[in-house]
Chains A and B, each alone.
Chain A
C-alpha cells in the first residue's frame, strides 16, 4: 500500500462525482440550448431524462458515501493517515538516532518524508510529541510478546516464558527497528527527556504482566524483589544483544544475528539459562521456608 495507490482510491471517488455532474451539466445545457428554440418532442423527452439521471446518480453516490461512512467510519482515510504516520515515525526515528532529540528539527523530518511541516504538527503536535511516538514505537514494538505470553496457559508459566523470550528476541530484531533502537535508547538513557516518563507509564501494564508471569515461575509475588531481579535478568540478557550490538560485533565476529539459526540458538540459550536460574531461586526459597518451619 503506497502513497499513490492510496491517493488513486480517493481520486476514483471524486471521478464519480465528476461523471454525475457532467451528465447533469449536459442535460441542463441541452435543455437550455434547444429547449426554447426547438420545442420538439425529442428534446423535451431527452434533456430532462439526462438531467434526472445525472442528479439521481449524484444523490445515489451521496447516499452511498454517507452509508459507508457510517458503517466503516471512513476506513480508507484513516488507513491513509495511519500509513503516513508510520512513514513519518520511521523517518523521524532515523533522524533522532542520528542527531539526537535536541539537534533534530521537524523541518528536516518533514522534508525527508516529503510532506509539509504543518502536516507533521497536525499529526503529532510538536517535536516532543513526535519523539514520544518514536520512542514508544521502538520500545512498544517489542511489547507485543508480553501480552501474548500473559494470555497463554497459566498452568504452565515455564513454557509461556520460553515462548515469550524466543518471541521477543525474534521481534526485537525484525519489528523493533534495530538500526535506530540502540542509538535512541542510548541517548534517552544518557539524558532522559519528558517522553521517557510517558513511555514508562504506558509500559507499566506490560511490566506488571511480565512480573506476574515470572512470579508464577518462581512462586513469588509480582512485587517481590526477587521477582523483579529475575525479570531484569531476563530483560538484560535480551536487550544486551541489541543495545551493545556494535561492541558485540567486534568482540564476537562470528555472531550473525541475521542468521535465523544463530538467533534461535541464542534465544534457546537465554531460556535454558534463565529457567535454571529461576528454578534455583524457587528451590532455595522452598528450602528456607522448610527450614523455618522445622
Chain B
C-alpha cells in the first residue's frame, strides 16, 4: 500500500517535472536525465513508469488535455435533458479557463506539438475520442442528427471553438478586450452563458431547417 502511494507520487512528480522541461525544450531536445534531475528521481523510474521518453511525453499531453476533458464525461449522465447537460458542460469547461486551472506549461507544450506533431498526438487523440463521441452524441441529440453527421460535427466544433478560443487566444484577447477578466467568476459565468445560449439558438435554427426540409420532402412524395 505504502509502496503504491510512493509510486503514484513519483509518477505525478515525473509528469510535473517533464511538463516543465518539455515546455522549455520541446520534445526532441528534452532529455530524460534533466527531467529526472528536476523530479529528484533516478532515470530508471521513467522507464519503469512510462517505458521511454515518448511514453512520458504522451502522459504529459494526456494529463494536461484530459484535465479539461472531465466535464465531457459528466455530461453523458444527463442525456435525457441535453440542453441543461450542455449548459452544465460548457460552464464546467469554462471554469478551467481561469489561471491556475491548468498547469502553466500546458500552452507551450501544445505550441511545440502544433509546430511539430509527434506520435504522441495520435495517442492523445485516441484518448480524447470517447469524450468527443459523447459530446457529439449530446449535440446530435439537440439537432436531431447522428453523432457522426457532418452537421453535428460542425456544431460540435462551433461550440468547442468558442470555448477554446478564450484559452488559446487569451493573450490577444487580453490586449483587445482589457476589461475581460477570466479570473472573475461572474465574468466567466457570463461568457459561458453567452456561449450556451448563442449555440443553442444556432442549433435550434439548424434543427428547424432540417424539419422544414423534411416537411418539404414529405410534401413532395405525398
Contacts and interface: CB of A to CB of B under 8 A. Distances in A.
Interface string B81-122: 000000000000000000000000001101101111100011
B9 interface: no
B162 A191 contact: no
B176 A204 contact: yes
Interface residues of A, number: 59
A29 interface: no
A185 B167 CA distance: 12
B125 A250 contact: yes
A186 B158 contact: no
B156 to A, nearest CB: 9
Nearest to B162: A236
A interface, over-half SS: helix
Contacts of B132: 251
A225 B115 CA distance: 34
B170 A189 contact: yes
B211 interface: no
Nearest to A247: B125
Contact of B157 (A187, A248, A278): A248
A50 B166 CA distance: 76
Nearest to A201: B175
Q: Which 5 residue pairs of A and B lie closest in terms of their CB atoms, listed nearest first?
A: A236-B165, A240-B161, A280-B201, A276-B205, A183-B115
Interface of A: 97-98, 100, 182-183, 185-192, 196-197, 200, 203-204, 207, 225-226, 228-230, 232-233, 235-241, 243-248, 250-252, 254-255, 265-266, 269-270, 272-281, 284
Interface of B: 107-108, 110-111, 113-117, 121-122, 125, 128-129, 132, 150-151, 153-155, 157-158, 160-166, 168-173, 175-177, 180, 190-191, 194-195, 197-206, 209
Given A239-B169, A241-B157, 16 more contacts: A98-B116, A100-B111, A186-B107, A189-B172, A226-B194, A229-B198, A232-B162, A235-B165, A236-B163, A237-B157, A237-B165, A243-B168, A251-B132, A276-B202, A276-B204, A279-B201
